[in-house]
Structure 1
């Protein structure tokens, strides 16, 4: 097995600082104090790959797109592809992560697949043949870049989810799952690569667009494409809002997640929800609107409750579309999950991917999901 690894080091940076994505917003994310998310997730994947497939042959993109991470995991790459025109050579410091672009990703992937002279590239041997799998770390935008670069080839791709919005069906559920799939798959299938207009997304419009069809390993631990649930949520929103109002005056802080289901609860409470954002409510009023992770932490009190709804078709409660609700926030709150019956009918299980494997394990198990004004349903977080 010959795996080509490429990391988009800025993927997901905009999430916890409230930008809903990083496309065209890297500088603003940095100004807001955003920290890179993708390198840590790449490290988790690489360490797991080294554990389950130490014999794997690895090619990798030059730093800051993965080389050091792969070496630290114990691999000696047969090839290091340098898309920076020598900027990442041994005699020069690698570019800053924020200087990487979609063109760099595409150049690396074409080299992995031996497309258009892709055999050229700094830092190592040619590898001798196309890789058996392109394993990339990023979000939907990165997935689209990889799929476009691989168009016309049979080289499969698999994503390690690191973006804010991860709607495509080419991603593993977690970094560790990605490594295990890469080490064990025996066949591929064609799956959708989706992306959305992030500017429209920030205004509350969620319209995933098909960007391509890619060859992807066949495995159980891949996520589905995002689906929009049908069915009414009015009675559900009415019941949850009534429960929240009962706590007004008690100092209970409610962290209300993004999405249309929780948005209906916000409407029922009498305020206009922030588009695809997290709002904080306490004692009958909005404390913070469209909050960042830091603003949520500052707003929390002695008793706190998170209200979130899983993503339709995927079942993710945390880790897709709501990175502002970080592990630090989750650990200080009780959890209330809400969803329409129609949404749960399309979901076999709930999932979490919080960037904290220990927390993911703590959250796993059976949970009660509110599905109506009074009704609940038991679902398992796997």
Structure 2
């Protein structure tokens, strides 16, 4: 009986650790309001060791915040922008405003208003580098104030700011203001870099991103193998699909030798299911706890995306490696919109649905967007279905 009890406790502990890993992969910054924060704190020693060994990421956790410092394996993925409202990615101006807001908050008191934040941001927005780059801020228009309100909403979501009183909408309209508490412990761990951005001299954006995040490892066989392992693991945990053809020769050779042990450790640590195919590998999350972008999803947008995926998958089966023009995808969506007009929401246009579907399929590694052409990728072939049975309300 005692041995059975220990087995149950061991199983519970292992599942708790896997759940904590999934929580951190989905939400690399957790505060005590998150339901899995206490679980992460309970297993923080094991989690720190696991992430450091498998990915090279570090974990900071205390009573106020848990921060997994995730360094991406690639810097060219433009599908994962910050967003407050679903399917509305941050613009270049919003990113710049977010950086200015964080710079101001570093020197702020414990409470700030949105109006005060705007005034201090304008005081530093005249930096010659920003002006030279064409980033001019006045916050005099409703659109610019709305962008700042969206930045504030993002910082609230991340736990940097806590709403005390007021309304961002009143600030946007010029009729009021909003008051926030500043959480300095969250603010202190928000930046994830290996080097301070101000120390980087490289010119192009991609070069700067690489410079502030690159791992410093010894130039030995062990160091090079560790870097390859961390790169592959980051892609397997972060990217929907790892395609062999995207790997370097050294990465491909390492994966051929170490695929079995590597996937075994990742599956045991996360609870994911490894799907290995001739073209690549995907780690699937049956719990969906670590999934930030799903497929399929309910509602008009989800249904439209799934139908377009089926259309592109059929094209892939019939004409491998032949692109599909965006215009052809839009024409197909127009046909689908007519067919399903009684089920889809009335204000959804075919053009809007096409843009959203293409973005989602691109983000999921199912297609590659090249100019005005769509390249269906091998993983897309797994999407196919029969005639659906419609239940629930129409026009969702």
* Structure with the bigger percentage of helix: 2
**Structure index of larger Rg:** 2
TM-score, normalised with respect to structure 1: 0.23
TM-score between both structures, scaled by the size of structure 2: 0.22
